[in-house]
Amino acid sequence: MFREILVPLDGSVQAEQALPHAVAIARTSNATVRLLHVVGDESRVRDGNHDKADTEVLAYFNEYLGIQARRVSRSLSKSVPYEVLTGDPASTILRYVRDCGCDLVVLTTHGQGWLAAARLGSVADELMRQAMVPVLAVRAHESNVSWQDPGYRRILVPLDGSRRAETALEPALAMARASRGRVIALAVVKLPQPRADGALPTHGADEAAEEHVRAQNYVRDVAARVGTDVLVNPVVRAALHPGLAIADAASQFEADLVVMSTRGRSRLVRRRLGSTADMVLRGVNLPVLILKDVREPETVPRATADVALREAWR
């Protein structure tokens, strides 16, 4: 599944809360966990004609990462490489991902250092948008790090009928298999905008009912196709926006993790993940694994039911 997992740490306790999740995933695939801190421009000093990082800052974070690496190493019983680099945090992390062949980044979405995602354009947001590898976004909280296994036993996978969305099934099934859990395959039927009196237009309601049947057939087919050794529950929800349905299903089924795919090759994705992924990241209080589809768009049309489902996600 994953072989090289990177956890960027900014020195805050909130950022460290990504570590148990990286450990849990590494155990399922015998992956290597790497730790990285980037000393940003605010920690650089001028020395003659050359910029350099303050040696005390470098020494501090080398010691800090060493402590965290030993904690992770004890959990995995294998060595954990770590490195302190200098430069712009987002671009430096992205370059490290490429140079080291990392195939997963695990980070928290609310830290106190440069990983803090309280505003658009923060390092965490930038990594989730720019990284062409999967990113697991963990919602940080105020308490200390718990090294208890996160236990992904109820994994929610939103599907829109496309091959792109179905790429999320493979890692979801692998994690469910490792934890003896189950996958909830969710299809969303987009409801038409209600009239001024709050009622659905008759024509739109009829179309939504037809799409609901098609969606049921689709997720049942998916469950039968991939649920050979893992329990896959087919679920259909209707909502005005897919993000609302995903958040509702995550709450109803007490999901431990959401795994979803988003497009990764467009000018638009450089600015945002897409309204659905953004809404899920900000609307659910649980980890979200975002997979980027960097392939060219599908050229062969799929079944009519699948096309109808994809329209609901636009």
Residue 129: its pLDDT value, please?
A: 85
What would the mean pLDDT of 46-74 be, rounded to a whole number?
Answer: 81
pLDDT (0 to 100) of residue 295: 52
Residue 94 has pLDDT above 90, yes or no: yes
Query: 183 and 49 in one domain?
Result: no
Whether residues 121 and 183 share a domain: the answer is no
Residues 117 and 21 in one domain: yes
Dihedral angle, C-alpha 160, 163, 164, 167, nearest 10 °: 100
Give the number of domains in the chain: 2
pLDDT above 60 (res 306): no
Residue with token string 């109808």: 308
Residue 44 burial (CB < 10 Å; 0-12/13-18/19+)? middle
205 backbone φψ class: left, alpha, beta (φ>0; ψ -120 to 50): alpha
Q: How far apart are CA 160 and CA 242, in angstroms?
A: 9
Q: Select from 84, 52, 79 the least CA-distant residue to 65.
A: 84
Which pLDDT does position 116 carry in this prediction? 52
* Residues 49 and 174 grouped into a single domain: no
Nearest of 167, 166, 151 to residue 255 by alpha carbon: 151
pLDDT at 279: 84
Whether residues 117 and 162 share a domain: the answer is no
Indicate whether 55 and 183 sit together in one domain.
Answer: no
The single-letter code of the amino acid at 6 is L
Output the pLDDT for position 32: 97
44-58, 255-269, 273-287: which has the minimum mean pLDDT? 44-58
Q: Are the C-beta atoms of residues 257 and 287 closer than 8 Å to each other?
A: yes
- In 3-state terms, the chain is what percent helix, strand and coil (to 5)? 45, 25, 35
In a domain, 147, yes or no: no
Mean pLDDT to the nearest integer, 267-285: 66
Domain containing residue 122: 4-138
Same domain? 61 vs 201: no
Provide mean pLDDT across the span 202-220: 84
pLDDT at site 264: 45
Indicate the pLDDT class of residue 30, thresholds 50, 70 and 90: very high
- Say how far apart CA 98 and CA 105 lie, in whole Å: 11
* pTM, to two decimals: 0.83
Q: Which residue has the tokens 């298999």?
A: 177
